[in-house]
Structure 1
Amino acid sequence: MVLKKKILIRIGSLRHGGAEKALINFLKNIPSDKYEIDLLINLYSGQYIKEVPSWVNLHYLLKGEMITTNRPHEIPVKAFRVLYQKMFSKFPGLLYKYILKNKKYDIEIGAIHGMYNDILTSPIKDSKKIIWIQNDIFSLKEYTPKVIREFFKFDKILVISNKLEEEMLKFAKNENEKQSIIKIFNPIDKNDTLEKANTPINDMPFTDSKHPTFVSVGTVYPQKGYDRLLHVHKRLLDEGFQHNLLIIGDGYDLENIQNLLNSLNLQKTAKMLGYKSNPYPYLDKADFYVMSSRHEGYPTIIAEALILKKPISATDISGIKDLLQNGKLGIITPNSEDGIYEGMKKFLTDKTLSDHYKNEIENTELPFVLEKSVQYLQQIIDEV
């Protein structure tokens, strides 16, 4: 009888997001007879909780809904959660004793870059350690060169785009460190995306409009650039380019973006639908996808937009050149308000462009095939 590898995987929550979805797709598609997996989440929250396979042992530090705003009555709860989690970060022995019951692991994985210190301070010194970098840490101020050097304490560093791989290699000091960096595409379940896109909906805005609709999906944080997207929407309308804009998602910046929408008098042409557990029918019914992000790691929603054959205009952020194959499958714009403007304007002025990109997507083999990504990740785990 072959002994199963004991693996601990850590992530903040299982709320909607590319890293969370990639992890769930991985767990749902690896063989349960080869591994014994414990999944530890800081907050028992999110739409993907129900998709964790039954054979995976699920542990958590806290239970409750994610708080994405800063309302006064929520601040004490947020403060308690932060302090509680910091206690386990400062005294990891308590976590492994009381939450994980002194279990020993062969491999420990941080499924998102923010878990790097939690994995490195594990009291299990002889476990192999893997970090999965799911965001463009090089654009985040807290990830100084000193912090980035910490990542080389891991046995393997998984990165999800060519840009992240190139940036990480600049910090490698020897051949061993270079070889520890592995590029791997996030696994995307094409069939699941197509199936969810076919779900009937009755609240799609602008169905009676004769003008095209742009859609954007994502957590409403400043990094998503929805402020500049609204300014571009207004600018195009003022110049006579009639169109609609739909933003799907929530987050702590939601109120600010809604206020901006109102102050620009865009209520008739722009709508914010808030969080949708299944955004794909809205994406499917829209004419174009627009990404206005200031930075990302690997925007999973772009991969899903490609699966739905949506014409895309996206800012030049990490992962976009990989996903859109250097502009073959969609418009890649400069990462600026003017860039977003030019990308959207191209679709509104050139009626042939939409069919051109749909045809290119139709005739291209997309690189984020679920089976290939899962197989590669499994190989990394087996060989570490």
Structure 2
Amino acid sequence: MNKYMKAPLKKVKRIVEKLTGYHITISYRKIKKRTKNRSKFGFIIESDLIEKKDRNIQVSGSLKKYRTNATFKRTVDYTSYYETLEIRENTILYESFHGKNMSCNPYALFKQLINDERFSDYNHVWVLNDLDNCPKEFLELPNVEFVAVNSDEYLQYLASCKYLINNTSFPPYFIKKEGQVYVNTWHGTPLKTLGKDMNGTIGQHKNLMRNFMQTDFIIAPNKFTADKIIDSHDLRGIYQGKVAETGYPRVDLVFENNKKVREQLGCTNNKVILYAPTWRGEVGNVSGELNKLIEDTKMLEDKLGGQYTILLKVHSLMQQYIQDRKIKLNIVPDNIDSNELLSIVDVLITDYSSIFFDFIVTKKPIIFYAYDQKEYQKERGFYLDLEDMPGPICRSIMSVIDEISNAQNYQVIYKDKMEYCLNTFLNLEDGKSTSRVIDTIFYNDEKYTYMVGDNKTNILIYCGGFLNNGVTTSALNLLNNIDYEKYNVMVVDKADFDEESMKNFSKLNKNVKKYYRVGSMNVLLEEVDSQNYLFKHGAEQFYRKGPKDYLDEEILNMYKREYKRMFGHSKFDIVIDFSGYVKFWTLLFAANSFNTKLIFQHNEMMEEYDKIIDHKYKHKENLNVIFPVYNYFDYVVSVAKHTRNKNKRELEHLVLNSEEKMVYVHNSINYKYVLDSLLLRKTMKIGDKEYYSFGNSENSHPIQGPLVPDKSVYNFVTMGRLSPEKDQKKLINAFIECYKKNTNIELYIIGTGELESELSSLIYSSGLQEKVHLVGQLDNPFPLIQDCDCFVLPSNHEGQPMVLLECLILNKPIIATDIPGNRSVLENGYGEIVENSINGLVSGMEKVMNDNPSYKVFDYKKYNTEAMEMFYKYIQVDEKVAP
């Protein structure tokens, strides 16, 4: 039994003893493993029930989940190996296309390393899900082993091999541990868009971006590819590894004379045409593309089969469908590397696959069969114009066949385009790229490498899920006002947004870098139990342990590991929990070290703690954990002075040094957005009534929005989530009282929320459905607010209401209840502050309506400058503190 295996077993033993109360003994025996019929050491655990520690102990929920949930078990097992296994020096793990085959850049590196005497004492581990895809000459080599993705052996090697080489990405649970060297080679010069530039589902590149952040080296064939990888994955200024512009090892294989490939494919006599189309289908739905592929390939064989051997290189899923239908085509098997294949090809037919870049080095004919170019452009997008590439573009298979006869003239016809591609994308491809990569990785040769850092301060911020609320508005405004000449800002969030959150997320400033969390936490069972205990007891535990020990070692380790899983060794100077309501993000930032850590309070937090919706506390469970975690942050930031004072008063028993730690920073505003939104006002007439309308272009049908206020009556308006703290019910009751004296008034309520049904019932029961309008959520509420006469905010508690600042930008008369957040905005004569009651609102509404008082004009430019200065004050980086 080797030391690499014994270490995790001791950990398992300790965990099982803790959770079951049994004393466990471990016995080792030698067993045979099927793979390559070589002896491997395995192990069994024998539970000799020598000693029962506690006869009443129950199996924990985490252990039950471990036994019944395969995904959770895999994560726990990997985490155990990650924490306990030592680094296997002189061992290299290779993975290509998630274990599909031995191919691409990892294969080219392997081929050279396996024959290099300098690496004769190295062991090589290939991730290969099907041994049939392994070239036979490698199957019996004593220093080569094969493992399948997600197998137990895979988990162990992934957690312990010194060198990790991948051309795509490792699973979401992977973390590069200290001492490992992770090389991501990627797999082609991108004609098609990558990362955030791709059309389609937001965050579809999230695990790849996470992988890039873990790497020590990103291998690039040229500057164009390097820049596209870095910028399409928002790595510039953040990524701390190195980019190595070395050329592609796999292109070296194109220069080889691969007779064995010709023999294997049975094309020793004829010239070879390779048809290599891009994967277009969806898993489980490839019938349409499959039929066209078969028809086109058969047409090629019918017309050209006498002169050429026609080979078809397709995605493995498509290949399986063809085989299932028992159609006889010359399909290239997955155990033949694409670049070794290119070395025997005379004419390449492709569409948008990067395979053609590698083939350009041969200067042989390329034909682009791009029958769906416009559709593909719309669905995926391109970086480069296919017209600039060295070959004709055909729309039908007959055009392709016609072009074959002219292919011998292509070196002349496409000479300029060929030279452009060779100089721009293949200038490093001299057959020695593999050697340059090996020198870079194993001999620290830095002449091909560089870093993409800059002198900016890096900020990581969690904004709260981008719901329709003031926190989101405040976050969007802040991110529009930050000086991007001085700061790199990365927003972190989930990727599975609903429609509401997606709309808000899409409003982020274009300079913001976006990171989408993928996967779940890597945990050990005892850590799960510790976290469950923390979540159950929260602040109670604070009183038992005190601030320094509130988060025990297991919790801290758990969240340090999670941060490393998400961000690798990327550099962030400042983290900001701008939400302050979600314990996962609070704990993640609290447990890790940065120059400065801020957590925001957007409301009166004890009021939020006690808030009940549908007979349940909305925030108590989270805040019970979060409040004591304030001690792990440098600043606890309220959004207004009065709000800070109230929060400090009510939470200082939980926060050490609250006088210095608990500060306030005013919300910034986006006055240009508010004023510009007024210019987008559009209306439409239906009968004798006028409605707001929405439409993005002249050709789109306008969508009917809310009724435009009648100028002959006095119109009140409010905006906010329909929830208890906003208390629109109080406002409706106040409106009812005003209506008894003056029927020439109406009320517009903008927003959605959990109280919508209750408010609607109140309106109908009072018979005022023609006077009180629930207009729902509006993407652009400002024309409606501007068309009303007075804004009313009936809230019971607020931090610093963004909507009041927006109404001040519009110079709109305001009535608001006398609570700290409202007072912080309107005091000193900017609006009417009234008693927080129905009577108080009635008095204010009648005063503003009848007396038309004047209020101070808001200098929004000066306010915004001062708000940003307040923010910058607390994100100064102390150069003496290590990031």
CA separation in 1, counterparts of 2:801 and 2:780?
17
Partner of 2:602: 134
Q: Which residue of the partner structure matches residue 47 of structure 1?
A: 503
Q: Tell me if structure 1 keeps the 8 A contact 2:577–2:586.
A: yes
Select the structure of larger CA radius of gyration: 2
Deviates more, 1:113-122 or 1:223-232: 113-122
Residue of structure 2 in register with 1:109 after alignment? 576
Of 646, 655, 665, which residue of structure 2 is paired with 1:167? Answer: 646
Q: Secondary structure at the match of 1:342?
A: helix
Q: Does 1:193 align with 2:674?
A: yes
CA contact (8 A) 1:206 1:213 kept: no
Q: Note if contact 1:13-1:46 (Cα within 8 Å) is conserved in structure 2.
A: no
Q: Compared with structure 1, are the counterparts of its residues 104 and 207 closer, same or farther at alpha carbon in structure 2 (3 Å cutoff)?
A: closer
Note if contact 2:708-2:784 (Cα within 8 Å) is conserved in structure 1: no
- 2:718 touches 2:791 (CA, 8 Å); kept in 1? yes
Residue of structure 2 aligned with 1:271, choices 747, 757, 773: 773
Q: Would the aligned equivalents of 1:16 and 1:46 in 2 still touch at CA under 8 Å?
A: no
Q: Percent identity?
A: 24
In structure 2, C-alpha distance between the alignment counterparts of 1:383 and 1:115, rounded to whole Å: 26
Instruction: Provide the secondary structure at the position in 1 that maps to 2:859.
Output: coil
What does residue 369 of structure 1 align with? 863
Deviations 1:263-320 (A, max 9, x none): 2111111111101011111111100001111211111100111111111111112321
The C-alpha deviation readout for 1:158-216, integer Å capped at 9, x for no partner, is: 11112222124434479943122222110012222111123213225354452110000
- Structure 2 CA distance for partners of 1:104 and 1:124, relative to 1, 3 Å: farther
Where do 1:1-384 residues align within 5 Å? 3-42=455-494, 44=497, 45-61=501-517, 92=559, 95-101=562-568, 103-115=570-582, 118-122=585-589, 125-127=592-594, 128-140=596-608, 141=610, 142=620, 148-170=627-649, 171-172=651-652, 176-202=657-683, 203=691, 205=707, 207-208=709-710, 210-326=712-828, 328-350=829-851, 352-353=852-853, 356-357=854-855, 360-361=856-857, 364-366=858-860, 369-383=863-877
Q: Secondary structure at the match of 2:846?
A: helix
C-alpha contact (below 8 Å) 2:470/2:802 kept by paired residues: yes
Shift of 1:35: 2.8
Q: Is contact 2:591–2:632 with CA below 8 Å preserved after alignment?
A: no
Count of residues in correspondence between the two structures: 351
What do the CA deviations read for 1:210-229 (whole angstroms, capped 9, x no partner)? Answer: 21100001111122111121
Tell me how far apart the structure 2 counterparts of residues 338 and 23 of structure 1 sit (CA, whole Å).
Answer: 34
* RMSD of aligned alpha carbons: 3.0
Higher relative contact order (CA 8 A, sep 6+): 1
Q: Displacement, 1:109?
A: 0.9
| Alpha-carbon offset, residue 231 of structure 1 | 1.5
5+ unaligned residues in a row in structure 1: which ranges? 63-85
Deviation, structure 1 residue 28 = 2.2
Cα shift at 1:120: 3.3
Task: Report deviation, 1:348.
Answer: 2.9
Q: Distance in 2 between matches of 1:146 and 1:50?
A: 31
Who is 1:72 aligned against? none
Question: For 2:677, what is the secondary structure of its paired residue?
Answer: helix
Deviation at 1:126, TM superposition (A): 1.8
Shift of the 178–332 alpha-carbon distance from structure 1 to 2, 3 Å rule, reads same
Residue 100 of structure 1 deviates from its aligned partner by 3.5
SS at match of 1:369: helix
> How far apart are residue 11 of structure 1 and its match?
2.4
- Cα gap change, 1:157/1:116 in structure 2, threshold over 3 Å: closer, same or farther? farther
TM (norm. structure 1) is 0.81
Inter-partner Cα distance in structure 1 for 2:623 and 2:491: 29
Deviation at 1:124, TM superposition (A): 5.3
Change (3 A) 1:226 1:121: same
Query: Aligned-pair distance for 1:39?
Result: 0.9
Alignment match, 2:423: none
- Is the contact between residue 459 and residue 490 of structure 2 (CA under 8 Å) also seen in structure 1? yes
Query: In structure 2, do the counterparts of structure 1 residues 156 and 207 end up closer, same or farther at CA, with 3 Å as the change threshold?
Result: closer
1:118 positional shift = 2.5
